[in-house]
Structure 1
Amino acid sequence: MKHAIKGRQPNSRMCFVCGMDNRYGLQSRFYELDNGEIVACFRPADEHQSYPGRLHGGIAAAILDETIGRAVLNHQEDELWGVTLEFSMKFRKPVPLDQEIRVVARLVEENKRSFCGTGEIILADGSVAIEGSGRYLKMALSKITDAEFKEEEWRVVEPGDADPTELDLPDRR
């Protein structure tokens, strides 16, 4: 099912998952969809493997957790982020290194202080490789870290010619 991209979420400079200047990181791009979900897109590199040709499970956990934690940004006026309280995963298939991977996440429950979300790592053929769910505390970025975030550290990267305007995702409902 095709979904229009309604916005792009910020990237940092050095975060392992979204840092654009972290040469060992995933350099993931995060998109807000018209249906309220968040999608992360990335291509794993050889440095991200466990068994030859396979994404390391810990790295799969990092991208899935970050994507679910960002789902709250799409549903509120304040810039509150999700800080992980609980997280679990179910591995269904190995994630190969030689293709772009998409991670889809959504809120399933929300209150004033916290939220719960679910997500999946989707392979190029549309199949679900890993499912995850978590509970997150809502926090302002200024409360999460002592470091001051300057525009160079945290910004929305302008879309390039290769950025999609819509994404085709399998129906998971």
Structure 2
Amino acid sequence: MTVASSPPGEEIEFPWHAEPSFNCFGCGPRNPVGLKLRMRKLPNGEFGAVTVFSPDYASYPGIVHGGIVHVLLDEVMGDTLALVHGMLAFSVSLSSRMLLPLRVDVPYTTAARIAGQGNGVLHTEAEITGPDGEVHVMARGTFQPIRSEQAKDLMDLDEAAFGRVSHYFDHGTGES
């Protein structure tokens, strides 16, 4: 089954989760301090994740740290690019508007979409909503697809690991 035909609500398993060297703080299932996000196709066709933060991720008592909120946004927007375009990308910029704080022990849905592309980058948008549907955070991100040379130089992948994930690199985004 392709990601596009995945039924809404079903968890999407990323192939790189099986790679021992991939220990992503956002989506890595083996990272002991990570968020372990589980991406799903949402009923509206966008991709997202439902997250409940423990007090381990708090800044003020009961309030999720703003930096962790930005990790969540960055991860869901980047994962959306991987799901839609089959590519891995580095975030170039992230801007957000925090309308309401996120509280620990409350489920939030982060939804993302691709907003455009050109000049070698992709643009994304996302929002985080609370259980009542109220928007807590709105964000925009810009991502640069990872080239093979960058992956080899920066990711510490051996030849076997690189061979297993190389199809996620060298995607063009057009110039328009």
Instruction: Report TM bin, short chain.
Output: 0.7 to 0.9
Q: 1:102 aligns with which of 109, 112, 134?
A: 109
The DSSP-based 3-state class of the residue aligned with 1:73 is helix
For 1:100 and 1:141, the matched residues in 2 are separated by 37
For 1:34 and 1:125, the matched residues in 2 are separated by 16
Larger radius of gyration: 2
The DSSP-based 3-state class of the residue aligned with 1:98 is coil
TM-score, reference length from structure 2: 0.72
Distance 1:70 1:142, change over 3 A: farther
The DSSP-based 3-state class of the residue aligned with 1:61 is helix
Following superposition of structure 1 onto structure 2, how do residues 8-23 of structure 1 map, counting pairs within 5 Å? 8-10=12-14, 12=17, 14-23=23-32
The DSSP-based 3-state class of the residue aligned with 1:19 is coil
Higher strand proportion (structure 1 or 2):
1
The DSSP-based 3-state class of the residue aligned with 2:60 is coil
Identity of aligned residues (%): 25
Residue pair 1:54, 1:96 contacting (<8 A) in 2 also? yes
Q: Which has the higher contact order (CA 8 A, sep 6+)?
A: 1
Residue pair 2:52, 2:106 contacting (<8 A) in 1 also? yes
The count of aligned residue pairs is 147
Amino acid at match of 1:54: I
Report deviation, 1:143: 4.1
Distance 1:41 1:143, change over 3 A: farther
Higher helix proportion (structure 1 or 2):
2
Which residue is equivalent to 1:84?
A: 91
- 2:144 matched to 1:137? yes
TM-score, reference length from structure 1: 0.73
Q: 1:146 aligns with which of 156, 169, 173?
A: 156
Which residue is equivalent to 1:24?
A: 33
Root-mean-square deviation (Å): 2.6
Report deviation, 1:35: 4.8
